Amino acid sequence: MAKGENVNQHGASMEKLVSLCKSRGFIYPSSEIYGGLSATWDYGPLGVEIKQNIQDAWWKEMVRRHDNIVGLDAAIMMHPRTWEASGHVDNFSDPLVDCKKCKNRFREDTLRKMRLDKDIDDALCPECGGELTEVRQFNLMFATQLGPVKDAGSLVYLRPETAQGIFVNFKNVVNSSRVKIPFGIAQVGKAFRNEITTGNFIFRTCEFEQMEMQYFVRPGSEDLVFEEWKTKRMDWYVDSIGIRSERLRFNEHGPKELAHYAKTAFDIEYNYPFGWQELEGIHSRTDYDLRRHEQFCGKDMSYLDAETNSRYIPYVIETSSGLTRSVLVALMDAYHEEKLDGKGEVRTVLHLHPNIAPVKVAVFPLVKKDGLSEMARRIEEGLREDFATFFDQRGAIGRRYRRMDEIGTPFCVTVDYETMDNRTVTLRLRDSMEQFRISVEGIADSIRRETLSYRRL
């Protein structure tokens, strides 16, 4: 796709993005008719498409393109001992303080940072100046009960990460498939955390989705494999999802930031409107998880390596991406307002990679009469099998293009009177707004070609 001109501003303010997401059907506040829950969000008709497309791109990259990575879909509710073994019952907590006056709740580390930033040293509530409680640890796991009787035996947690579903199934996968070390198990699914401070739209929510992969390796090889996965994961965001590389960076965890299971950890960070923050975590987890599960369940978690004729508990490299957070980054990075030459008109456009655009091709008849509408409908129906399509015959053609730009549709096909004569249509590219005349029969190939050669502005 050729590069466009008149580019004057990239990236969205959070307010503009939230407003576009709601008005165009990407993301709505959850249960909004009852006043909503700031901690959760609902994905509308376009939101589910982009989320699914990102998930598909991840699955293709991680599972389909590797003959040594297999998939899994474990249950959200797991045996509670899982979370004792994983360390989440003891360690997965945030330091919390309450205001005795206004009852607001704060993370102590956030409060400390706020005080440092504003150069103040009082220990009072930043909202009302009230007295604060002592710091206490607040576990982020949601607890619920399984079955009709509420007793200690019925306690279960909603999983705070998908990873443990993979660890508890490690032996099942080894025994039921032909995987050999090094190999990976990949999973996409919901995770739940009772975050004290949610916010920044879908950046931090209590219910979210993760795309995680655990890569099991021989002890001693983990540092090399860790570097390989770091590179592969960063490349994926740029090449497959179309995120601008200059908005991404690595950030290594210092000793105090390391999670209880990690030997080394790097985040892939994105430069959000509120600063550099995590998008994905890449962790070297050693044999911590499998060894802990072995201790807690009493079952052997070792692997017999036929190549070296040795038995050991594998080490693990984890790549842990937020699916819902990737949706936010994709939308934010794609949002663009540009002034069109000479007209004073501002075009809002989402420069989404065609791989993840919720609608890939829109088909328009220039006018509704003289058979153009029926012809356009037939073309659109013919493309449905291969692409997410949209048919629109309402309003001026320019307005129809603008509506498609706003939701990131990379290709528009217009049927006009020439189509009736020689079976050609115009193909319009979203980013450059260039138009080409191509044959009806060549539409699908042109879209595929443009998608393969797509380069982000």
**Interface residues with ligand GAP (CB under 6 A)?**
161, 163, 193, 195, 204-205, 208, 210, 212, 278-281, 318, 320-322, 324-325
Nearer to ligand GAP, 239 or 278 (CB): 278
Phi and psi torsions of 388, nearest 5° = -80, 120
Residue nearer to ligand GAP on the CB measure, 270 or 454: 270
Of 79 and 339, nearer to ligand GAP (C-beta) is: 79
DSSP of 136-191: EEEE-PEEEE-SS--SGGGEEEE-S-SHHHHHHTHHHHHHHS---SSEEEEEEEEE
List 107's β-bridge partners, or say none.
96
Least distance (Å) between residue 293 CB and ligand GAP: 15
Closest separation in Å from C-beta 55 to ligand GAP: 13
What is the rounded CA–CA span in Å between residue 263 and residue 203?
26
Pick 193 or 430: Cβ nearer ligand GAP = 193
Q: In whole angstroms, how close is the CB of 370 to ligand GAP at the nearest point?
A: 51
Edge-to-edge order in the sheet of strand 389-391: 389-391, 361-365, 411-415, 424-429, 435-439
CB of 49 to ligand GAP, least distance (A): 20
Contact 268, 250 (CB under 8 A): yes
Amino acid letter for position 163:
A
CB of 203 to ligand GAP, least distance (A): 7
Closer residue to ligand GAP, CB minimum distance, 141 or 433: 141
Q: Which is nearer to ligand GAP, 324 or 409 (CB)?
A: 324
> Which CB atom, from 188 or from 349, has the smaller least distance to ligand GAP?
188
Residue 8 is classified by DSSP as -
Smallest gap from residue 316 Cβ to ligand GAP (A): 10
Minimum distance of ligand GAP from residue 322's CB (angstroms): 2
Pairing of strands 183-192, 69-71: parallel
Identify which of residues 51 and 204 has a Cβ nearer to ligand GAP in the complex: 204
Indicate the Cα dihedral angle 198, 212, 24, 205, nearest 10°: -10
**Locate tokens 């985040």: which residue?**
267
In the complex, which residue's CB is closest to ligand GAP? Answer: 322
Beta strands 136-139 and 93-98 are antiparallel
Cis omega (within 30 of 0) for bond into 365: no
Closer Cβ to ligand GAP, 188 or 362, answer by number = 188
Question: In the 8-state DSSP scheme, what is residue 306?
Answer: T
Distance CA 42, CA 30 (A): 5
Nearest distance from C-beta of residue 168 to ligand GAP, angstroms: 14
Whole-angstrom CA distances from 93 to 54, 141, 346 are: 30, 8, 46
CB 235 to ligand GAP: min, Å: 17
Angle subtended by helix axes 323-334 and 45-59, to nearest 10: 110
How many Å apart are CA 251 and CA 422, to the nearest integer? 56
